[in-house]
Amino acid sequence: MTDSLTELAWLDSYGPLHDIFCVSFVRGLDPPEVLRRFGAASGERLAFADLNSLVAEYVEQTQGGNGGGYVGVVASGEWSVAVEPWGWQGNLPEVVGGLSKGSEVVAINRHDYAEAHFVYAVDGTVLAGFLPRLPSHQYGSEPERLTPWMREAGLGPDREERPANPIASAFAVAARMTGVRFTREFLEESLLVGDIRT
């Protein structure tokens, strides 16, 4: 687990995804279907830099109150990985419910001005979730389901001090669950980008 945390440490720094983002891992759905479930009518292939430019323009127009307005999706084995710079749609109950219908979703949101979340849902139901910076705060219909993986990643729910790398640790839990390690290389791939502005 230590190697995994080292490789994922960039997610706790002010890197290419900055300090607000959401990444959702969706099992068994291809990128076009994931975009549809996010509410996008269609998608176009773009580099991460182009996605970031669209997001930056939208955030400037809305002063950031509506999220990033766009999501980029790439396939990784049996999972699709959805990246929302400056976004949090993938952690909203109504979106998680739709994404996980007939499927399985692991979503992590970093938000340095609000609260980060980790959500695990299957077929429309949130089974387990926790706050990476306060792992004792667990929720869902089976809140203790993730506890063994959380402990491995240094997010034991009985710990009193704040974890050193809460976001990297949350992504390490996701990697154990999905088999997909969210490295910087994901941002070098061509993404299917959809407009989810509200």
Query: For 2-60, how does the pLDDT look when each residue is reduced to its tens digit (9 = 90+)?
Result: 677 889 999 999 899 999 999 999 999 999 999 999 999 999 999 999 999 999 999 99
Q: How many structural domains comprise the chain?
A: 1
What's the pLDDT tens digit per position in 136-190? 999 999 999 999 999 999 999 887 788 989 999 999 999 999 999 999 999 999 9
* Paired tokens of 86: 């400056």
Would you say residue 78 has pLDDT above 80?
A: yes
Confidence (pLDDT) at 160: 75
Instruction: Name the residue with higher pLDDT: 14 or 99.
Output: 99
pLDDT of residue 23: 98
Structural domain span for residue 138:
2-195
Give the model's confidence band at 198: pLDDT under 50 very low, under 70 low, under 90 confident, else very high: confident
